[in-house]
Structure formats: structure tokens, C-alpha cells
Amino acid sequence: MGKVTFKEDIAKSALTMLKRKIPYGWDLNIYRGCQHGCKYCYAMYSHKYLDSADFFNEIHVKTNIVEELERELKSEKWKREVINIGGVTDSYQPAEAKYQLMPEILKLLIKYRTPAIISTKSKLVLRDYDLIDELSRITYINVAATITAMDEAIRTKIEPGGSTSIERFEFLKAFRKTNASIGLHLMPIIPYITDDEQNFDRMFDAASQCGVHYVLAGTLYLRGTTRKYFLDFAQKEFPEQYEKILQLYKTGGADKEYKTALYEKVNRLRDQYGLSSSYMKPMREKLR
């Protein structure tokens, strides 16, 4: 990773309305660019709208996001729909330790009784434990950890800037003590690198010990900038798997036969640990 620079931007709004309203209607992203440096990052496309190609090292910060959010939440038009925090870039990436915008955002969600989803790869989310705990007693809040590999040697290659996988399970365990729902986002599953039974078995074992409410699984997609970036990385770091990955990814998604066999394996193991795949269930229960 190179030297990180921060660019402070003034955003016109805090919330972005999503075209598909289910299961949440709004996105909130504090940062553009992300220091976690995941090799499969699907959000790289978002930098093409900026004057920068360095998604992982040039971080744009919406410094007025708290004021904008309050303006939007106090409006009579606000219907308290679920806000997805960090749907594009991670809100608890290292920049957040410096800018500390999430605590102010959480205070507004509490004040305006607004439900939200947070998914992150960083234990920095524990800094805001008390606020998330308070929000969880008022409305629906979901805390999810995206975790892909239990083998740390693989994890540091594919997600160099995130917390260790064990640390991510630890924060899930901590938030299980609140009224928040907690989830494991097992995505993306990377063919021939993180798709082995042992990885899933360790993952589901840890998830069941944390008492997660659901597990969501999904395979790798490779399109546009992400495709080139990931394949160059795989060729260098996983030369033995590279050709097989190329064969599988003739288009953006892995081939159908591979995915059918993969999900059969994932579902079987998940069922063995008695884990649910429904992230909607806790949301419906809390918001009805």
C-alpha cells in the first residue's frame, strides 16, 4: 500500500436513495476510496467519477456529512427507512479513526429513531459500542462482519488493511450482547482460494459460537477495473490457481456448474451448524 492522502469534500447530501427499496432504501457513505485494500474490491468503479485512479490511497472524506444528515433526518418527509451505512466503502476504515464521523452519525440515528445496517471489516466499530447498544434498544440496527478467510496468510494477501478474521468474529460476539442483530457476510467466496470445506467449517463454527442471527454467502464477481486488478493479483500471488480461475470466469460471474456445487457445500455446512440464511427475519421482527 502506498502513502495515504485525504481529500476533504463538501457533499450535497448525506443519503443516496436506492432504486431497489428492499431491504433498505438508502445508502450512506462517508468515504470515497477505501484503505482496506481488498484485492476483489467491487467499489473501485466509484473512483472513476473523481480525478483520481488511486482508490486505496486517496481517500475522499465528506466532512459535512453530519450536518447534511441532520437536515435530511429532521425533514417531515423522512419516513425512517433503513439506511445502509457503508454500502460502497467501509465506514470504519482507518480514516474513521482520524475523522470520527460515525459517532456523530449514530447520535443522529438515535435522535431520529432511524434504523440502519452497518457492515465492516474493522474492529474500530467497537469504539462506538455504547452508541450502537443505545440505538439497538430503540430500533433495528444490524452489525455485520464481512469475513472471507480463516487462514491469516490468505487473509492478509486479499484484505491487507482489514482486521484479522478472529478480531471480526470478536466484535460480532461483543455486539451479540446488545439488542442489535448480527450477521456474517461470507463474501466474496474466491474460487480455489477460499472455497475449501475447512475454511467454511471454521467460519461457521466461529459464527455459531458468536450466535450470529444469519449468514449471507456470495461468490466473487469480476467486472471492469476489478477484474483486471484481481486477475493481476491472482497471477502474482496465487499462480497455481490463476489458470483455473481464468477458466471459471469467462464472464463476470463464476460458471453455473461451479456455483451449484459450491452452494450445495455452503448450505450443507451452514445447516449442520444450525445457522439461518435469512437476514430479513430479524429486520422484520424489529420493524413490524
Residues at the site binding ligand SF4, with contacts judged by CB under 6 A: 34, 36-38, 41, 43, 89-90, 121
Query: Which residues are CB-neighbours of 95 under 8 A, at least 6 positions away?
Result: 4, 6, 31, 35, 59, 61
Distance CA 113, CA 81 (A): 10
Nearer to ligand SF4, 89 or 139 (CB): 89
Residue 5 vs 75, nearer CB to ligand SF4: 5
Cβ contact 85:105 at 8 Å = yes
Q: Closer CB to ligand SF4, residue 15 or residue 41?
A: 41
Q: How far apart are the first and last CA of the chain?
A: 45
DSSP reduced 3-state for 60: strand
Report the alpha-carbon distance of residue 92 to residue 89 in Å, rounded. Answer: 9
Q: Closer to ligand SF4 at the Cβ: 36 or 213?
A: 36
Shortest reach from residue 259's CB to ligand SF4, in Å: 20
CB of 34 to ligand SF4, least distance (A): 3
Nearer to ligand SF4, 34 or 172 (CB): 34
- Of 114 and 163, CB closest to ligand SF4: 163
Provide, rounded to whole angstroms, the least separation between the CB of residue 203 and ligand SF4. 18
The dihedrals phi and psi of 276, each to the nearest 5 degrees, come to -85, 155
Q: CB 41 → ligand SF4: shortest distance, Å?
A: 3
CB 86 → ligand SF4: shortest distance, Å?
8
Separation in Å, CA 277 to CA 185, 194, 230, 255: 10, 19, 28, 23
* In the complex, minimum distance from the CB of residue 273 to ligand SF4, in angstroms, rounded to a whole number: 25
- Identify the burial level of 26 via C-beta atoms within 10 angstroms of its C-beta, where 0-12 means exposed, 13-18 middle and 19 or more buried: buried
Taking a C-beta distance cutoff of 8 angstroms, is the pair 46, 10 a contact? Answer: no
Q: Specify the amino acid at residue 25.
A: G
As a whole number of angstroms, the distance between CA 68 and CA 283 comes to 26
CA distance 284 to 18: 19
| Cβ-based nearer residue to ligand SF4, 37 or 253 | 37
| Minimum CB–partner distance for residue 284 and ligand SF4 (Å) | 27
